[in-house]
A = this chain, B = another copy of it.
Amino acid sequence: MEETFVPFEGIKNDLRGRLMCYKQDWTGGFRAGLRILAPTTYIFFASAIPVISFGEQLERNTDGVLTAVQTLASTSVCGIIHSILGGQPLLILGVAEPTVIMYTFMFNFAKERPDLGRNLFLAWSGWVCVWTALLLFLMSILGACSIINRFTRIAGELFGLLIAMLFMQQAIKGLVDEFRIPQRENPKSIEFIPSWRFANGMFALVLSFGLLFTALRSRKARSWRYGSGWIRSLLADYGVPLMVLVWTGVSYIPAGNVPHGIPRRLFSPNPWSPGAYENWTVVKDMIHVPIFYIIGAFIPATMIAVLYYFDHSVASQLSQQKEFNLRKPSSYHYDLLLLGFLTLMCGLIGIPPSNGVIPQSPMHTKSLATLKHQLLRNRLVSTARKSIGKNASLGQLYGNMQEAYHQMQTPLVYQDPSAGVPGLKELKDSTIQAATSMGSIDAPVDETIFDVEKEIDDLLPVEVKEQRLSNLLQSTMVGACVAAMPFLKKIPTSVLWGYFAFMAIESLPGNQFWERILLLFTAPSRRFKVLEDYHAAFVETVPFKTIATFTIFQTVYLLICFGLTWVPIAGVMFPMMIMLLIPVRQYFLPRFFKGAHLQELDAAAYEEQPALPYNLAAQSEFGGGASGIGEGEILDDVITRSRGEFRHTSSPKITSSTPTPNKDLIMHQSPSLSFNSRMGEVTTEYSPRSGARGPYSPKSREMKQSTLGKSPLNPESKQQERH
């Protein structure tokens, strides 16, 4: 994406790119079959639960003018519209905490003005939305998003960690409050005598830690050793919602012996209670707002517009990180334009607007990467088995798999066809080499030589099932929550706090900032363990002292931002602090760090995200009926263990030759590396699978190569750029 500020240019480019794949966005989604429900359910819970909690918060803060019904309605309506008309369907929309804080501030302002008051609050905030929408239109038309590439990794990851901290803070605060008397309730009720309050608090600890622990465990079910494949698969896909159900069930066990209000449960009016709909006709009242306040609404509107511009773009950016190897183009400008329309609509019907949310958006992409991996895997396994059944040679086998793989690729005429086809090349080379040493390449293979499931796990690159269906479905399900309110109200609030902590923890893996903080606390004698795992390139190329200085600077900056959120009104402007990082990164940091080091530590800096080329052949994807047999923990890696750079598993067995490692390597080299470094180069001999996932594998070399832009999948990709 060029930094062009020609009006409408950005929107035009976005539209051109996304229209090209619009049809495939739908067909691809439907072809995935029932499996699409796994990411859908996962994101639905991640989306709905915080929105309900924010609704509850908003209800307390606005004397009941806005409730969870409105926040759910906004999330659902905006989500459905975005999933159909939006540019980037990976982006998840929802009412977010900053919106809640802004609306609280606006309510406090309005209720003290006699000519506004509680009654005209929604009408006035309607005007705020009108101004906000205008500003968003302006920004998107003038190409404000083309500076998105200046939001480097440092800014995005700091923001991600800040959101995680806010979620965790909410979880802790919620738990502490379980020991106190809630404001809303009658403090004379039986459940608020000290003994029941203490009991309620302890029960809340049990429920929330129970949910947190079991949810985290269930996400890793695929690599469990026990239980049959489909149970593990089911648990990994649907474990989190299931655990919410289970712990809600547990909360009813002592129901006979404890008062009605223990444990405390979600509070929200039913959508059919009187007055729940009075906000929908707010547009009628908007003309009653005094002109002075209509103009004054421009002030909060600028703040919200900046906030949304930042939030929406960064959420979109984080869901399209380079490591995901996305194949469809981004759509920052057009999505900002659409957000303007959505804000306008929400303002006119008197509900708080939604915008792109973190961590749900990157969570969405990750869960779709898992889905795509499963689909590709099942297809290739069946192809390989069929070939072996026909006594094919190793050469034919790879031919067939190559073909099947290409058929699964998203076709798109938009891309440069000269880029060549990505594929299974390296694996072919190395395994053929092995086969040659054993006999002839033309001899029939059997499963003793070619262990189908293992080979294919190693073979597959990270790819994402990019489509619109999961987003549409999850938004619809959020809408259904409004009707299902009587059931939702059975969930204990403590389960909610556990879920908040779960979301905070789930958003950490893959965040290099977080990995670097952990590295600071890693004992020097244990740093070699980081090298044994999948790790980002900087671990090997940047001196430890530089990493430490950079990380400490970033941590201090993070803590300042976090502190700012506690300042009553100015707190809403914490995104400004993060936007300030752009000049800091561009002009301040280069004075203290070497350019090459900064480049490594802040990997996305000023670098175009090369789109991977598409295959033009016809496509067809297997789905639905595919069984869940033997899905390895490789999927868990994709979801939970991914460290910053995503795994490029396409060539685990290549014979790599790299020059002598940098002299100022930061850590105790792992023994095998140190051994070899004397010999000038790392030469890993082919040995059957021994290096596939074990420690001391040549993975680290690959990782480095790939982050330096030479994806092993497609070395030419650097030359192509998105427009």
Which of B209, B226, B448, B518 is A522 in contact with, Cβ under 8 Å?
Answer: B226
- Tell yes or no: A254 within 8 A of B by CB: yes
Q: Does A49 sit at the interface, judged by CB under 8 A?
A: no
- In the complex the two chains form, what is the Cα distance from A471 to B618 in whole Å? 76
Contact with A694, one of B193, B198, B685, B696 (Cβ below 8 angstroms): B696
Name the B residues within 8 Å of A195 (CB-CB): 193, 195-196, 199, 258
User: A690 to B690, Cβ gap below 8 A?
Assistant: yes
Taking a contact as CB atoms under 8 Å apart, the answer to whether A529 and B225 are in contact is: yes
**A412 contacts partner chain B, Cβ-Cβ < 8 Å:** no
Residue of B nearest to A518 (CB): B226
Q: In the assembled complex, how far is the CB of residue A211 from the closest CB belonging to chain B, in whole angstroms?
A: 14
Chain B nearest CB: distance from A533 CB in Å?
10
Cα–Cα, bound, A198→B232 (Å)? 35
Is A205 interfacial (CB 8 A cutoff)?
A: yes
Q: In the complex, which residues of chain B have a beta carbon less than 8 angstroms from the beta carbon of A676?
A: 688
**CB-CB under 8 A for A671 and B689, given A198-B257, A226-B518:** yes
As for how many copies of this chain the complex holds, the number is 2
1/0 per residue, CB under 8 A from B, across A161-205: the answer is 000000000000000000000000000000001111011001101
Chain B contacts for A228, CB-based, 8 A:
523
Can you list 9 A-B pairs, Cβ within 8 angstroms, ordered by A? A195-B199, A199-B199, A224-B526, A225-B523, A448-B674, A449-B675, A685-B685, A687-B687, A693-B695
Q: Which residues of B contact A529 (CB under 8 A)?
A: 225
CA distance A482 to B689 in the complex (A): 60
A374 vs chain B, min Cβ distance (A): 15
Interface centre among A195, A199, A224 (most CB of B within 10 A): A195
Residues on B with beta carbons closer than 8 Å to the beta carbon of A198:
196, 199, 203, 254, 257-258
Contact call B688/A226, Cβ cutoff below 8 A: no
Asked whether B521 lies within 8 Å of A675 as measured between CB atoms, the reply is no
**A227-B687 contact, Cβ under 8 Å, with A674-B451, A696-B694:** no
Query: Given the complex, which residues of B lie within 8 Å of A193, measured CB to CB?
Result: 195
Please state if A521 and B257 are interface contacts (CB–CB under 8 Å).
Answer: no
Whether a CB of chain B sits under 8 angstroms from the CB of A691 is: yes
Per the 8 Å Cβ criterion, residues 228-283 of A in contact with B are 228-229, 232, 254, 257-258
Complex CA–CA separation, A451 to B629 (angstroms): 42
Q: Does A678 contact B (CB under 8 A)?
A: yes
* Minimum CB distance partner of A630 in chain B: B525
Tell me the bound Cα distance from A329 to B522 in angstroms.
44
- Which 4 residue pairs across A and B have the least CB separation, nearest first? A202-B202, A199-B199, A195-B195, A694-B694
A482 CB to nearest B CB, Å = 33
Cβ contacts A139-176/B at 8 Å (1 or 0 each): 00000000000000000000000000000000000000
User: Does the CB pair A229–B525 fall under 8 Å?
Assistant: yes
Whether B688 pairs with A448 at a CB distance below 8 angstroms is: no
Q: Tell me whether A689 and B672 are in contact in the complex, defined as CB-CB below 8 angstroms, given that A195-B193, A206-B205, A226-B522 are known contacts.
A: yes
Q: Is A677 an interface position by the 8 A CB rule?
A: yes
Alpha-carbon separation in the docked complex, A455 to B103 (Å): 63
A525 pairs with B629, CB closer than 8 A: yes
Extra A-B contacts (13), CB below 8 Å, given A195-B196, A226-B521, A451-B675:
A195-B195, A195-B199, A198-B199, A209-B209, A225-B522, A227-B523, A448-B678, A451-B674, A454-B671, A672-B688, A672-B690, A685-B685, A685-B687
Chain B nearest CB, measured from A324 CB (Å): 27
Would you give the shortest CB distance from A643 to chain B, in whole angstroms? Answer: 13
Tell me the complex Cα distance, A205–B202, Å.
Answer: 9
Please give me the residue from chain B that is nearest to A198 by CB atom.
B199
A570 to chain B, nearest CB (A): 35
Q: Which residues does chain B contribute within 8 Å of A254, judged by CB atoms?
A: 198
Contact of A199 among B202, B629, B685, B694 (CB under 8 A): B202
A451/B696 contact (C-beta < 8 A), A521-B226, A688-B676 known: no
Contact present for B689 and A696 (CB under 8 Å): yes
Q: Tell me whether A226 and B451 are in contact in the complex, defined as CB-CB below 8 angstroms, given that A689-B675, A696-B690 are known contacts.
A: no
Q: Looking at the assembled complex, report how far the CB atom of A442 sits from the nearest CB atom of chain B, in whole angstroms.
A: 18
- Chain B neighbourhood of A205, CB < 8 A: 202, 206
A696→B449 CA distance, assembly (Å):
16
B-side contacts of A257, CB under 8 Å: 194, 198
Chain B residues with CB below 8 A from A530, complex form:
225
Residue of B nearest to A446 (CB): B678
The answer to whether B202 touches A206 (Cβ under 8 A) is: yes
Residues of chain B within 8 A (CB-CB) of A677 are: 448
- Considering the complex, give the chain B residue whose CB is closest to the CB of A203: B202
- A498-535 contacts to B, CB under 8 A, are 518, 521-523, 525-526, 529-530
CB proximity of A582 to chain B, nearest CB, Å? 33
For A680-692 the 0/1 string (1 means CB < 8 A from B) is 0000010111110
Which residues does chain B contribute within 8 Å of A696, judged by CB atoms?
689-690, 694
Rounded to whole Å, the gap between the CB of A406 and the closest CB of chain B is 26
On chain B, the residues within 8 Å of A672 by CB distance are 687-690
Chain B residues closer than 8 Å to A678, beta-carbon distance: 448-449
Kindly state the separation between the CA atoms of A202 and B202 in the bound complex, as whole angstroms: 5
The smallest beta-carbon distance between A362 and chain B, in angstroms, is: 25
Residues of B near A209 (CB, < 8 A) are 209
Which of B451, B454, B523 is in CB contact (< 8 Å) with A232? B523
What separation, in Å, do the CA atoms of A523 and B676 have in the docked complex? 39
When the two chains form their complex, are residues A671 and B691 in contact, meaning their CB atoms are under 8 A apart? Answer: no
Residue with the highest number of chain B CB atoms closer than 10 Å, among A193, A523, A691: A523
A206 to B228, CA, bound (A): 32
Contacts of A224 in B (CB 8 A): 526
Which of A225, A228, A678, A688 has most B Cβ within 10 Å?
A225
Give the nearest-CB partner of A629 in chain B: B525
Chain B residues with CB under 8 Å of A690's CB are 672, 690-691, 694, 696
Bound-complex Cα distance A209 to B529 (A): 30
Residue of B nearest to A694 (CB): B694
Q: How far is the CA of A484 from the CA of B196 in the complex (A)?
A: 35
**Chain B residue with minimal CB distance to A524?**
B228
- Chain B residue numbers with a CB within 8 Å of A227 are 521, 523
**Are B206 and A523 within 8 A (Cβ)?**
no
Instruction: Give the complex CA separation of A228 and B232 in angstroms.
Output: 36
* A window 522-558: CB within 8 A of B: 522-523, 525-526, 529-530
